[in-house]
Amino acid sequence: MFSVCRRVQSTSIKFNINKQSSKTKHSKNVSADDNNGTAIMFMNMGGPSTVPETHDFLYRLFADGDLIPFGRFQEPLAKFIAWRRTPKIEEYYKQIGGGSPIRKWSEYQASKVCERLDLISPSTAPHKPYVAFRYANPLTNETLQKMIDDGVTRAVAFSQYPQFSYSTTASSLNELYRETLKLDPNGQIEWSVIDRWPKHFSLVDTFAKHINEALDTFPEEVRDQVVIQFSAHSLPMEVINKADSYPAEVAASVYTVMEKLQFSNPYRLTWQSQVGPKPWLGAKTDQTAIRFCDEFSKDDVPGVVIVPIAFTSDHIETLHEIDIQLKTDLKNKSRMIRCESINGDPLFHDGVAHLVKDHLQSGELYSKQLPLDYLLGKTPSTVTFKHPKEFFGNRRKNLE
């Protein structure tokens, strides 16, 4: 899975965090190469769109050492866990409609963002939407091949993870790099990346709007006492202890949303979807919500609004883990509501379009944090670049 067909000529470049710059300019400034436009690749972990895709999705997920590191036991454990968990997870997907809606929402969001970009950034138009998933169809290699066949020469890798983690965003970038070595060895496509956007108004304003809509369902006299419980996907402490950016950036998103709401309510950040016996980042979303709704009196906590702050659309963690499993576990079900996910909100599409436009105009190929992320986070099992400059922007020049 992690093999590549050739070595990159630039791997001998030494890493010096103080001397590298992410401000290397896009070729031909911000205009589209040869009027060929700009491709925008929406990147995410994905989810099985149909129930029969569940096993392969789970296998790819647990086989990814960047996400859940098992060391030399990665392959056999991935096979075992996928075999063991498939029947249970298939049933979950049946309960939420027969598959994950991530692909539907990702393709819709990418399309709407590109439509908006054509209007606000004509110098880089036309903008072409693509979706690439790490563990489900359409896989990265399929999307990349389509882009090559479409004649794309300029592309932005847009991480649908607003908050960076080496195990999520970087895992997707690593896969894109590996597949590029195989499918685009001559560097037809010149890449840049939006690798994080935890405080961008596209995320903050949309969630603030949806939180207010959820709060409006509670009686006015107790509305400002309702707890806003932000929930993000947890990660193994083995990942977090490498100084991964994720916890701080999720917290930044939470605080910025609360600033937008003028700190109208008490709030907490909790973590969901822990798997296996290893220590994971807590406190747990389900346990905390049960305390709020079932252990505390209505005078102390009249209600809870759960906010999926690290997700850009609904998927199994919202539709089943929160809406079904958590609701089933609660005695006082009426005290908890989940705010609507971002999904198809035009406010979000417009905001992301401006995020991409600003990225293109800035000439920034990657964030200033990304080199340090790769210095701290790289795992021995990962075949990838040592420094993002080896891949983004100047790869054509490296190959010459």
Asked whether residue 268 is assigned to any structural domain, the reply reads: yes
pLDDT at residue 396 in the model: 52
306 and 392 fall within a common domain:
no
116 and 150 fall within a common domain:
yes
Q: In whole angstroms, give the CA distance from residue 122 to residue 211.
A: 34
pLDDT at residue 23 in the model: 52
172 and 46 fall within a common domain:
yes
pLDDT at residue 381 in the model: 63
Q: What is the pLDDT of residues 292-305, one digit of tens each?
A: 999 999 999 999 99
Is the preceding peptide bond at 252 cis, omega within 30 degrees of 0? no
Looking only at the bridges linking them, the beta strands covering 154-159 and 190-194 are parallel
182 and 303 fall within a common domain:
no
379 and 255 fall within a common domain:
no
Is residue 392 pLDDT above 60, yes or no?
A: yes
Asked whether residue 101 is assigned to any structural domain, the reply reads: yes
334 and 355 fall within a common domain:
no
pLDDT at residue 66 in the model: 81
The average pLDDT across 347-363 equals 97
pLDDT at residue 18 in the model: 40
Q: What is the pLDDT of residues 154-163, one digit of tens each?
A: 999 999 999 9
Is residue 128 pLDDT above 60, yes or no?
A: yes
Computed over every residue of the chain, the mean pLDDT equals 89
94 and 222 fall within a common domain:
no
pLDDT at residue 30 in the model: 45
210 and 64 fall within a common domain:
no
Asked whether residue 270 is assigned to any structural domain, the reply reads: yes
287 and 333 fall within a common domain:
yes
Asked whether residue 44 is assigned to any structural domain, the reply reads: yes
Tell me whether residue 6 is exposed, middle or buried, using C-beta atoms within 10 angstroms of its C-beta: 0 to 12, 13 to 18, 19 or more: exposed
Q: What is the pLDDT of residues 6-49, one digit of tens each?
A: 333 333 333 343 444 455 455 444 444 456 899 999 999 999 99
Domain that holds residue 365: 33-197+347-399
pLDDT at residue 394 in the model: 61
Residue that finishes a domain, picked among 293, 312, 338: 338
Residue 399 vs residue 320, higher pLDDT: 320
Q: Which residues have a catalytic role annotated?
A: 45, 61, 67, 134-135, 233, 314, 317, 321
- Which tokens in the block code for residue 135? 């563990």
What CATH number is associated with residue 311? 3.40.50.1400
Looking only at the bridges linking them, the beta strands covering 304-308 and 336-338 are parallel
51 and 183 fall within a common domain:
yes
The overall pTM is greater than 0.75: yes
pLDDT at residue 393 in the model: 76
Distance of alpha carbon 230 from the chain centroid: 16
Asked whether residue 28 is assigned to any structural domain, the reply reads: no
Asked whether residue 23 is assigned to any structural domain, the reply reads: no
pLDDT at residue 27 in the model: 43
Asked whether residue 25 is assigned to any structural domain, the reply reads: no
* CB neighbourhood size of 293 (10 A): 22
175 and 72 fall within a common domain:
yes
Residue that finishes a domain, picked among 315, 338, 361: 338
Asked whether residue 20 is assigned to any structural domain, the reply reads: no
Tell me whether residue 214 is exposed, middle or buried, using C-beta atoms within 10 angstroms of its C-beta: 0 to 12, 13 to 18, 19 or more: buried
Q: What is the pLDDT of residues 42-73, one digit of tens each?
A: 999 999 999 999 999 999 999 888 877 787 88
Domains of the chain: total: 2
275 and 163 fall within a common domain:
no
Residue that finishes a domain, picked among 316, 338, 360: 338
The average pLDDT across 183-198 equals 96
Q: In what order do the strands lie in the sheet with 190-194?
A: 127-133, 38-44, 154-159, 190-194
pLDDT-derived band at 276, boundaries 50, 70, 90 = confident
